[in-house]
Structure 1
Amino acid sequence: MKKRTLNKVVVALLASYSLVGIAPVNAQEEEAAPDAESFEKIAVVGARGAPRSVSNSPVPIDVLSVEDIEGVAFSDLNDVLRTLVPSYDLSRQPISDGATFIRPATLRGMPTDKTLVLVNGKRRHRSALVQIGGSGTQGPDLATIPSAALGSVEVLRDGAAAQYGSDAIAGVINFQLKENSEGGTFSAEYGQYFEGDGDSITIGANKGLALGQDGFLSVSLEYNDTEATSRGEQYCEPWFCVDPNHPRFDPDASYAELVTPEFIAAAQEMGRRVHGADVVQPWGQPNAEAFRMFVNAGYEISDSMSWYAFTNYTSSEGDGSFFYRFPFNSVLQDIRLEDGSIWNPLQIYPGGFTPRFTGEIEDYSFSTGVKGMTAGELSYDLNARYGYNEIAYTLENTINPSLGDASGTEFHPGTLSNEELQIQADFLYDLNDYTLAFGLSYLDETYDIAEGELESYIDGPYAKADPWNFCTDVDNIADSTPTTAGMAAIANGSTLNCADDNDAVYTVVAVGSNGFPGYSPEFSESYTRDSYAAYVDISGDITDELFMQAAIRFEDYSDFGSEVVYKVAGFYQATEDTGIRASVGTGFRAPTPGQQGTTNVSTRLPNGTPVAVGLFPASSDVAQALGASPLDPETSTNFTFGITSALGDVNITLDYYLIYLEDRVNAVSTLDVSTDPTQGAAFDNFLALQSAGVVGAESIGGVNYFQNAFDTKTSGIDLIVTYSMESDLGDTMFTGSLNYNKTEFDSDPSEFLNAENQFDFENGTPTLRGVFSAKHTYGDFQGLVRVSYYGDYENVESSAADSAIQEFDPEFFVDLEGTYFFTDTLSLAFGVRNVFDNYPDPSEIRGDSCCGRIYRSDSVVDWQGGYYYTKLVAKF
Structure 2
Amino acid sequence: MRKIGIISRGALAMALAASGQAAFAQATSGAASDADAIIVTGTRTTGFKASDSPAPIQILGSDALSRVGQPDLNQALAQQIPSIQAQAFGNDQTAFHPSIKLRGVSPNHTLIMIDGKRRHGTANVAVTNAVWTGGAAPDLGLIPGDMIDHVEVLQDGAAAQYGTDAIAGVVNFILKKNDHGGTINIDGGQYFAGDGEQYHISGNIGIAPIEDMFLSLTGEYKFHNYSFRGDVDPRVVDTGLNTAANTGNSGGRTILARYPGVKNFANYPYVNRIFGDGRMELTNGFYNWGYSGFKDIELYSFGSISRRVGRTFQNYRLPNVVFGKSASPNIAVPTGDIPFPQGFSPQEVLRELDYSATAGAKGTFEATTVDLSATYARDVNKIYVENSANAALYYDTSTLTSPGFTPRNVHNGDFISTQFVSNLDLTHEFDVGLAGPVTVAGGLEYRWEEYQLRAGELASYYVSTNTAAPGGGIQSFFGYAPSNASVNSRNNFSQYVDVSVKPVEAWLIDGAARHEHYSDFGDTTVFKLTSRYDIVPEFAVRGTVSTGFRAPTLAEGFYSGINVSVSSLSGIFAPNSAGAAALGLGGLKPEKSTSFSGGIVAHPVSRLTVTLDGYRLTIRDRIVQSGGFTGYSNNCRYLPGGYTSATNVQAAYTAFVAAGGTCTGTISPSVLTALFNNGVPITSVIGTINGGASGSLAVNSFVNGVKTQTTGLDFLANYFTPIDGMGRVDWSLAVNYNKTKIKKVAPPPSGVNQSTAILDVYAQSQITNTTPKIRATAGALWTFDRFEINLRESYYGNSGFLTTFPTNANRAYYISAGKAFITDLEASVKFGPIKFSIGANNLLNKYPKAYPDEFRAAQYETSSTAFITKYPVSSPYGVMGGYYYGKIGVRF
TM-score by length of 1: 0.84
Q: Quick one: structure 1 residues 766 and 610, their matched pair in 2 at CA, closer, same or farther if it must change by over 3 Å?
A: farther
Q: Quick one: structure 1 residues 40 and 450, their matched pair in 2 at CA, closer, same or farther if it must change by over 3 Å?
A: farther
Deviation at 1:270, TM superposition (A): 4.2
The 2-side partners of 1:358 and 1:549 are apart by: 49
Deviation at 1:82, TM superposition (A): 1.2
Residue 95 of structure 2: aligned partner: 100
- 8 A Cα contact 2:571 2:680, kept in partner: no
- 8 A Cα contact 1:191 1:869, kept in partner: yes
Q: Quick one: structure 1 residues 611 and 345, their matched pair in 2 at CA, closer, same or farther if it must change by over 3 Å?
A: farther
- 8 A Cα contact 1:268 1:279, kept in partner: no
Q: Quick one: structure 1 residues 38 and 191, their matched pair in 2 at CA, closer, same or farther if it must change by over 3 Å?
A: closer
Residue 869 of structure 1: aligned partner: 885
Residue deviations 1:262-295 (CA, integer Å, cap 9, x gap)? 95664553458xxxx9533331111111000110
Alignment equivalent of 2:840, drawn from 825, 832, 839: 832
Residue 686 of structure 1: aligned partner: 672
SS at match of 2:75: helix
1:386 aligns with 2:386: no
Residue 508 of structure 2: aligned partner: 547
1:443 aligns with 2:447: yes
Residue deviations 1:119-170 (CA, integer Å, cap 9, x gap)? 0100001110111155512111111101011001111001101111111001
Residue 418 of structure 2: aligned partner: 419
Deviation at 1:257, TM superposition (A): 3.7
The 1-side partners of 2:887 and 2:337 are apart by: 47
Residue 747 of structure 1: aligned partner: 744
The 1-side partners of 2:300 and 2:671 are apart by: 55
The 2-side partners of 1:265 and 1:142 are apart by: 44
The 2-side partners of 1:866 and 1:592 are apart by: 36
1:139 aligns with 2:147: no
- 8 A Cα contact 2:38 2:50, kept in partner: no
* Counterpart AA for 1:777: T
Alignment equivalent of 1:347, drawn from 332, 338, 355: 338
Greater shift, 619-628 or 140-149, is seen at 619-628
1:709 aligns with 2:666: no
* Counterpart AA for 2:362: K
User: Any gaps of 5 or more consecutive residues in structure 2?
Assistant: 1-13, 24-32, 43-47, 395-403, 432-436, 633-648, 655-664, 686-695, 749-757
Residue deviations 1:246-270 (CA, integer Å, cap 9, x gap)? 9999999966744548956645534
Q: Quick one: structure 1 residues 43 and 512, their matched pair in 2 at CA, closer, same or farther if it must change by over 3 Å?
A: same
Aligned length: 784
- 8 A Cα contact 2:362 2:369, kept in partner: yes
Residue 191 of structure 1: aligned partner: 189
- 8 A Cα contact 2:848 2:879, kept in partner: yes
Deviation at 1:849, TM superposition (A): 8.3
1:855 aligns with 2:846: no
The 2-side partners of 1:196 and 1:246 are apart by: 34
Residue deviations 1:573-612 (CA, integer Å, cap 9, x gap)? 11111111110100100011111110121225xxxx7412
Q: Quick one: structure 1 residues 24 and 518, their matched pair in 2 at CA, closer, same or farther if it must change by over 3 Å?
A: closer
Residue 396 of structure 1: aligned partner: 386
- 8 A Cα contact 1:717 1:739, kept in partner: yes
1:763 aligns with 2:724: no
Residue deviations 1:474-519 (CA, integer Å, cap 9, x gap)? xxxxxxxxxxxxxxxxxxxxxxxxxxxxxxxxx3422221222222
Residue deviations 1:651-705 (CA, integer Å, cap 9, x gap)? 1111111101000011111122324545555343212222444345542722100
Alignment of 1:74-85 (within 5 A): 74-85=70-81
The 2-side partners of 1:849 and 1:781 are apart by: 50
The 2-side partners of 1:25 and 1:795 are apart by: 33
1:527 aligns with 2:522: no
1:637 aligns with 2:594: yes
1:843 aligns with 2:843: no
Alignment of 1:504-653 (within 5 A): 507-604=468-565, 610-647=567-604, 648-653=606-611
Alignment equivalent of 1:820, drawn from 829, 836, 839: 829
- 8 A Cα contact 1:316 1:362, kept in partner: yes
SS at match of 2:371: strand
Residue 797 of structure 1: aligned partner: 803
The 1-side partners of 2:272 and 2:870 are apart by: 14
- 8 A Cα contact 1:400 1:407, kept in partner: yes
1:455 aligns with 2:459: yes
The 2-side partners of 1:77 and 1:804 are apart by: 35
- 8 A Cα contact 2:815 2:872, kept in partner: no
Alignment of 1:762-781 (within 5 A): 762-781=768-787
Deviation at 1:314, TM superposition (A): 0.6
Alignment of 1:96-495 (within 5 A): 97-133=92-128, 134=130, 135-236=133-234, 240-242=235-237, 257-260=253-256, 263=259, 266=262, 269-270=265-266, 278-328=270-320, 331-332=321-322, 335=325, 347-375=338-366, 377-404=367-394, 405-432=404-431, 433-460=437-464, 463-465=465-467
SS at match of 1:542: strand
- 8 A Cα contact 1:45 1:54, kept in partner: no
- 8 A Cα contact 2:112 2:170, kept in partner: yes
- Once superposed, what is the RMSD of the aligned Cα atoms? 3.1
TM-score by length of 2: 0.83
Deviation at 1:762, TM superposition (A): 1.8
* Counterpart AA for 2:721: M
Deviation at 1:732, TM superposition (A): 0.2
SS at match of 1:110: coil
- 8 A Cα contact 1:44 1:152, kept in partner: no
The 1-side partners of 2:114 and 2:475 are apart by: 39
* Counterpart AA for 2:446: Y
Greater shift, 788-797 or 689-698, is seen at 689-698
Q: Quick one: structure 1 residues 770 and 40, their matched pair in 2 at CA, closer, same or farther if it must change by over 3 Å?
A: closer
- 8 A Cα contact 1:829 1:872, kept in partner: yes
The 1-side partners of 2:359 and 2:785 are apart by: 44
* Counterpart AA for 1:741: N
* Counterpart AA for 2:879: W
- 8 A Cα contact 1:511 1:696, kept in partner: no
The 2-side partners of 1:741 and 1:836 are apart by: 26
SS at match of 1:325: coil
1:783 aligns with 2:789: yes
Q: Quick one: structure 1 residues 788 and 248, their matched pair in 2 at CA, closer, same or farther if it must change by over 3 Å?
A: farther
The 1-side partners of 2:35 and 2:538 are apart by: 24
SS at match of 1:574: strand
Residue 58 of structure 1: aligned partner: 54
The 2-side partners of 1:250 and 1:421 are apart by: 50
- 8 A Cα contact 1:363 1:388, kept in partner: yes
The 1-side partners of 2:667 and 2:248 are apart by: 32
Q: Quick one: structure 1 residues 252 and 111, their matched pair in 2 at CA, closer, same or farther if it must change by over 3 Å?
A: closer
Residue deviations 1:507-536 (CA, integer Å, cap 9, x gap)? 342222122222211211101000100000
The 2-side partners of 1:384 and 1:572 are apart by: 37
Deviation at 1:334, TM superposition (A): 6.3
Q: Give me the identity figure in percent.
A: 30
SS at match of 1:737: strand
Greater shift, 84-93 or 656-665, is seen at 84-93
The 2-side partners of 1:220 and 1:439 are apart by: 31
Deviation at 1:797, TM superposition (A): 2.9
Deviation at 1:759, TM superposition (A): 3.1
